Chains A and B, each alone.
Chain A
Amino acid sequence: MSPTGPETPIRITPAFFFLLLTLVDSECHGYAMAKEVAERSGGSIDLGPGSLYWSLGRLADAGLIEESGGPAESARSRRRYYRLTGLGRTTLRRETETLSKVLSFARAKRVL
């Protein structure tokens, strides 16, 4: 499906980070992800429709997320559901670790 291979590294921008995080507990459809991102980021990351699906396309092409059937009751809906792949989970953990190191450094420097 994807012309770029799963090994293709992509830079995890804050928006990608948030999107990946929304999928940790459960699979989710695109628009609900955008809403949760907006809520959690306090409105600072507000993905419009085009930006949302471009981002999801990038994440899917990089093999970090994949489409899923979604919950049974949504079968008639045309909405696409997404879930994290193994690579997605690994990437997310690695990124979070890096970030937590950054955070503790920032605390030590009393920036935060």
Chain B
Amino acid sequence: MQSPLLFRILLALYPRRFRRRYGDDVLAAMQSRRDELYRAGRHPGRLASVLFRDLAFALPRAWLTYGPRRRSRVFSPSEEIPTMSNLLADLRTVFRRLFHKPGLAVIAVLAMGLGIGLTTAMFSIINGVMLKGLPFDEPHEVVALNRVNLSEGPGRLIGRIHDYRDLVERQTTFEYLAGMEIVPANVSPPGQDPEYLNAASVTANMFTLLGTTPARGRTFSVDDEVPGGPSVAVVGYRFWQDRLSGASDVVGSTFRVNGAQTTVIGVMPEGFEFPFNQQLWLPLQVDIDAFGRTDGPNLLMVGRLADGVTMAQAQGDLERIMRGLGEEYPETNEGMTMLMGLYVREIIGYQMPQFLFTMLGAVSLVLVIACANVANLLLARASLRSKEVAICSALGASRARVFGQLLMEAGMIASLGALVGIGLGKLGIDLFNRALTALPGSLPFWFDISIDPDVLLFVVGLTLAASLLSGLLPAVQASGAELSNVLKDVARGGSSLRIGRLSRALVVVEVAFCCALLVAAGLMVRSVTNMSSIDYPFQVDGLLTAQVALPPSDYPDAMTQRLFFEELGGRLHAIPGAEAASIATDLPVVGFDNGRYAIEGQTYQADRDYPSARIGSVDPDYFASLEAPVLEGRAFTIADNADGMPVAIVNQAFVATHFANESAIGQRVSIRGVLTTGQTERDDDIWYTIVGVVPDLYLDAQLFILGVEAIYTPFAQRPASAASVMVRSTGDPLELTDAVRKAVTAIDPDLPISGVSTLRASIDNTQQFLRIFGVMFTIFGAAALFLATVGLYGVLAFSVSQRTHEVGLRVALGAAPSDVVGLVMRQGMRQLVVGMLLGLLLAAGLGRLLSFVLYDVQPLDPVVFGGIVVILTVTGLVASYLPARRATWVDPLVAMRSE
């Protein structure tokens, strides 16, 4: 009777010797057992559980008793148990053999080092940016919470303070839930110039949540949190050292923050800059009840999970509470939920990890290419030694030992490569860190890109993988060759032919991966060049930019803010050398605020149905200062003031979306909610009449988002407490810095200017990050090209040397040198073409993964693809021409005699 397939599969798991001895009995017993259980009317699951338990018990024991270790005893003539001395002897042999031809060994080690080094550097970056996480206790318990509008997809919004209070009261899964707000702070330490900082205004429990104790003094208590409570501050280590001169009696000293005399109560330890790169913390003193649910500050919420609570449980808890809030307060909360994730992941966003892991994937291709090269080298040597191996086998060396020696050889190359790789990786990390520090602004405080134990562990894993990857194929090939065939094989065809086919397949893989990498590099490079040669619809050069933020204590309302900036505008115009000057909430490219709006005549069901656009307030000189044309209608004038008719200017994208077939001029829009930075007064009910249309002025720092709708309102009609100033200079704009600073301090001596830069520099900076990655991709591509070229050359050269006899014969029979060259080059070209075809397919996939960092380049850009095909073809031709030429030097007499 044929046994059921399942039983035979189960049996197949046992070692062969056990199956031979008891296979039939086991199958029969399985069937008897099944029949019995079925007769007793038991569920089939019962049989499954019996068989599974049986397997769990018997399988490991059967392998121990009947496994291959005993078999080797049976088959090998001598007792060849792997002992330490055997192992050492093998290691010595392998080492000697490896460095018998040091040139080849060194090339192999360097190739491996290049692959491991690049991969290690890339992994260190990922590790430092996102895997290591926050440098606090139990960082995997610290999560960030984001408000998400379910009907709009996964876009993150900042939480609202009312939600925060409700969550704190109703949650059951967090040990702590803290809230914070990033607030502008103008600080004036005694005897120093005022300085602008991004401070964090935090709930008192935030420090407890993070588990960090201050280096000096204390952190906030609940008493500091009450509205109108004491003016106290906790400062960062760097701030203490640089601005408070590291005074030992710093606790209790005072300095001015936003105009208020503030007492230092504590200093945080070095390296603590939570939430991002903060150096100053103020207590969050908000009277929540003074605000309606739509108002009040927005809070970034951070939580620490309670003991034993999983992420999923906490997320479930949040969703339950948010559903309840949605029912209680449909106006503000319907369709809203809270999504949480590990703090670091939430803060860096979701594109960054995708990008970084794509890069890691790309760089591991370089490593695979290196492994293929080493495998080819080992294959070549193994085939040269195939006779030696066969003789050893015939004399009683076990296949296992031959196999082991080849793996050892690969392991040795990989280990030496790893040492080189760690060095190269360190170099790469240093270069990357240097490039990062050149970026403006400070990086998130948890960035720590270095070679740490985790990275070393990764290198160990990588080395093992590389040893197997490069050693397994040659080892299987060499130890598996039929003895008699090899020994009989007088000519060099035969056994080496098989190995030759494998080598060629490896080269095809190398070329394919290399091609994909080069295409990715090409796309990135093109993207970066495209970005630096954007033809902006305004004059980028010659503009100085800086920011001024007014403390709410001194400038509490629209009126005082308007007065300040109007006076500042006048003073800026008076600066000698200033061609034009302007004040606005937002600048092109550097970034714009997002907001929602309504168009007159349209109806919107709920808050979330209002369309969104970039919304900014600009003064009458804005477009003139930028030298941007007004395409239709007019620019703002000084008549568009607080008492004038509310007016707005929109961009072309806005017109295309809403008024494609009619004129936008004369239409009216209203702006919803408090959205512009620093704006304090709502203006939902004001209808702004559109008076002008301007081009799309690159409103996003990412540059990838083109054609975003924008609405500009007059600064006088929608003032804000924070604004950018822009001054156009005939000479070097930065020379005007002092004059601008004086213009500000002439009005208010406590006010600093911050972020002084030129628009050109700001634009360059937004691209700097991508430029770094473009360079990295180019390095990966170049390394891949180099390794693949060496691989192709190596295999062809080896094949030519193996075919000396054949070539000699052909020449003797009248083959011309060109025939010989053609013979070799055809072989090379075949590998190249197949590899490239595969590579282009792979590149299409890789390009799609990269598409969100590509600027104005299609993932299938024909120029890049074509260019890479040309580069690879030329390199491939050279790599195969050299060995082909060598083949023509073969002297038929010598070649024929060589046997």
- Give the interface of A toward B (CB within 8 A): 3, 30-31, 34, 46-54, 56-58, 78-80
Contacts and interface: CB of A to CB of B under 8 A. Distances in A.
19 contacts: A3-B70, A30-B25, A48-B51, A48-B54, A49-B25, A49-B26, A50-B10, A50-B14, A50-B26, A50-B55, A50-B59, A51-B54, A53-B25, A54-B18, A54-B62, A57-B22, A57-B65, A58-B65, A78-B28
Given A51-B58, A54-B58, A34 B29 contact: yes
B26 A53 contact: yes
Contacts of B74: 3
A56 B25 CA distance: 11
B57 interface: yes
A48 B53 contact: yes
Interface string B67-82: 0001001100000000
Interface in B7-43: 10, 14, 18, 21-22, 24-30, 32-33
Contacts of B22: 53-54, 56-57
Given A31-B28, A54-B58, A79-B28, A48 B50 contact: yes
B61 interface: yes
A48 B28 contact: no
A53 B54 CA distance: 11
A50 B61 CA distance: 10
A48 B33 contact: yes
Interface string B383-406: 000000000000000000000000
Interface string B433-448: 0000000000000000
Contacts of A54: 18, 22, 58, 61-62, 65
Interface of B is mostly: helix
Contacts, number: 70
Contact of B29 (A3, A31, A46, A58): A31
A26 B491 CA distance: 66
A99 B62 CA distance: 28
A50 B28 contact: no
Contacts of B55: 48, 50
Given A46-B50, A51-B54, A31 B32 contact: yes
3 pairs of A and B residues whose beta carbons are closest in the complex: A48-B54, A50-B58, A49-B29
Contacts of A3: 70, 73-74
Residue of A34, A47, A53, A58 contacting most chain B CB atoms (<10 Å): A53
A72 to B, nearest CB: 20
A48 B58 contact: yes
B65 A30 contact: no
A52 B61 contact: no
Nearest to B31: A49
A79 B50 CA distance: 22
Nearest to B24: A78
Interface size class of B (residues with CB under 8 A): 20 to 34
A77 to B, nearest CB: 9
Nearest to A1: B21
Contact of B25 (A46, A51, A58, A80): A80
A5 to B, nearest CB: 14
A50 B70 CA distance: 19
A34 B32 CA distance: 11
B29 A53 contact: yes
B753 to A, nearest CB: 80
B18 A30 contact: no
A50 B62 contact: yes
A109 B66 CA distance: 43
B395 to A, nearest CB: 25
Residue of A30, A34, A48, A57 contacting most chain B CB atoms (<10 Å): A48
A49 B24 contact: no
A80 to B, nearest CB: 6
A60 to B, nearest CB: 9
Contacts of B66: 57
Contacts of B73: 3
Nearest to A50: B58
Contact of A50 (B24, B32, B54): B54
B23 to A, nearest CB: 9
A57 B21 contact: yes
B57 A51 contact: yes
Contacts of A30: 25, 29
Residue of A46, A48, A49 contacting most chain B CB atoms (<10 Å): A49
Residue of A3, A34, A51, A54 contacting most chain B CB atoms (<10 Å): A54
Residue of A47, A50, A79 contacting most chain B CB atoms (<10 Å): A50
A27 to B, nearest CB: 15
A34 B54 CA distance: 13
B57 A48 contact: yes
A89 B74 CA distance: 31
A101 B55 CA distance: 35
A16 B239 CA distance: 75
Contacts of A31: 25, 28-29, 32-33
Contacts of A34: 29
Contacts of A58: 65
Given A46-B50, A57-B21, A57-B22, A52 B29 contact: yes
Contacts of A47: 54
Contacts of B54: 47-51
A46 to B, nearest CB: 7
Given A31-B28, A52-B29, A54-B18, 19 more contacts: A3-B70, A31-B29, A46-B53, A48-B33, A48-B51, A48-B53, A49-B30, A49-B54, A50-B14, A50-B57, A51-B54, A52-B26, A53-B21, A53-B25, A54-B58, A56-B22, A57-B22, A78-B25, A80-B25
A57 B29 CA distance: 15
B598 to A, nearest CB: 73
A57 B70 CA distance: 15
A30 B18 CA distance: 15
A31 B30 CA distance: 9
Nearest to A56: B22
Contacts of B10: 50
Contacts of A78: 24-25, 28
A31 B21 CA distance: 16
Interface string B151-186: 000000000000000000000000000000000000
A31 B24 CA distance: 12
A42 B25 CA distance: 24
Contact of A79 (B14, B25, B62, B70): B25
